[in-house]
Amino acid sequence: MGDRRKEIISAALNIVAEHGMEGVTVRKVATSSGIGASTLRHYFPTHRELLSAVSEALLENMLSDRRISDSTLSPKLRLFECLEQFLPPSDDSLAQLETFVAIYSSCFEDGQFIGPKDFTQILRNSQNATMRWLRIIENQGYHLSRTPEQGAEFLTIIINGTVLQLLGSPETFHLKNAHEVIKEAISYLLID
């Protein structure tokens, strides 16, 4: 069952790369996977479950440890490089935040809040990556103003708010502003 599920998600990721999240329909994913819609529904009973799995896979594929272990570099720089993965590469590529929007949208169906189950798992994955980065820095002898767990939660809150600000105020809040906010949060968290 796991291999077929992975194949379906892989096909959906290819569709996202070409058409964005709005291209992920049951029919397109089933066709791309070489299966029927009823078989796809066996693995993903609802469109929302399919979108949630795709969103989670996108986030997992997106996050890398970059140079977090390179102790020749400033810990603040290394942590910033990891955290900037949650942001688009430029002001012109805000569309890449579509994954972020899809993750939040997975909490709603037909205009109704249906619960954060899938969202919670995705949030946990991003917090775990951030916690891993903080532990690496801490294990190299640097001091944090909070525990890695608390720091990961703090940074996740800062990043989520920053991304929402980028989406909601693109005329006045730019990527440069987002970088400044994240660097300030890092400065608060990493004690010199």
What is the pLDDT, as a whole number, of residue 181? 99
pLDDT in tens, 145-154: 999 999 999 9
The residue extents of the domains of the chain are 1-45, 64-191
Q: Is the pTM of this model over 0.85?
A: no
**CB contact burial 11-28 (16+ within 10 A = b; e otherwise):** bbbebbeeeebeebeeee
Beta bridge partners of 143: 191
Predicted confidence band of residue 25 (pLDDT cuts 50, 70, 90): very high
Superfamily of domain 1-45 in the CATH hierarchy: Homeodomain-like (1.10.10.60)
Tell me the two tokens of residue 77.
């720089």
Residues 6+ apart with CB under 8 A from 138: 144, 148
User: Each residue of 49-71: pLDDT tens digit?
Assistant: 898 888 778 777 778 899 999 99
Average pLDDT over residues 127-154: 97
What is 64-191's CATH number, 1.10.357, 1.10.287, 3.40.50, 2.120.10?
1.10.357
What is the arithmetic mean of pLDDT over 128-141?
97
pLDDT at 62: 74
β-pairing, 143-144 vs 112-113, is unpaired
The alpha carbon of 39 is separated from its chain's Cα centroid by a whole number of angstroms, namely 28
For the CA atoms of the chain, what is the radius of gyration?
A: 18
